[in-house]
Amino acid sequence: MGQSSVEDQRRSIRKRVLWSGVIVSDEKARIIPCAIRSISGSGAQIRVDSDDVIPAVFFLVDRKSLIGYRARTVWRRANFAGVEFEQSVPIDGPLPRELRFLRTVLAGAGFMKARGQRSQASSLVTLGVADLEQARAARRLTK
């Protein structure tokens, strides 16, 4: 049989998007801004600056949906990379202690609004919102 395309190998269809994200190394030592170009339930295509080194395994934090994905780099070409998700966690919901750093990253790593205003994520952390529906309602109130 012929060689299958990358699209044939995917477990789910990717949706084209242009969302802001951040890559956090496993050691939490490096934070790399990125653009999420397409996303599905099983992975994403991201874009970084050409000189940024993408770790083999990392957390991809999606600013739009407030979700952190434990991801693995599958391929890299120039500024683009394909990643496969191993785990996803809503950052505005209950988090295990070892993943709470994701809230700090989202609230403090360049995702703050104009000076003096808190980001949606930091507002949610302050409110202690535990339920996803409550989190969505709280986000609508902060807009």
* SS3 (DSSP) at 99: helix
What are the residue ranges spanned by the domains of the chain? 6-142
**pLDDT of the chain along its 143 residues, tens only?**
444 444 445 567 889 999 999 999 877 778 999 999 999 999 999 999 888 889 999 999 998 899 999 999 999 999 999 999 999 999 988 999 999 888 888 787 555 333 233 344 333 333 333 334 444 444 444 44
Buried b (16+ CB within 10 A) or exposed e, 92-113: bbebeeeeeebbebbbeeebee
Contact call for residues 85 and 70 (beta carbons, < 8 A): yes
CATH superfamily of 6-142: predicted glycosyltransferase like domains (2.40.10.220)
Q: Distance (Å, rounded) from C-alpha 123 to C-alpha 70?
A: 24
Helix axis angle for 101-108 and 120-127, nearest 10°, is 140
Report DSSP state, residue 97.
Answer: G
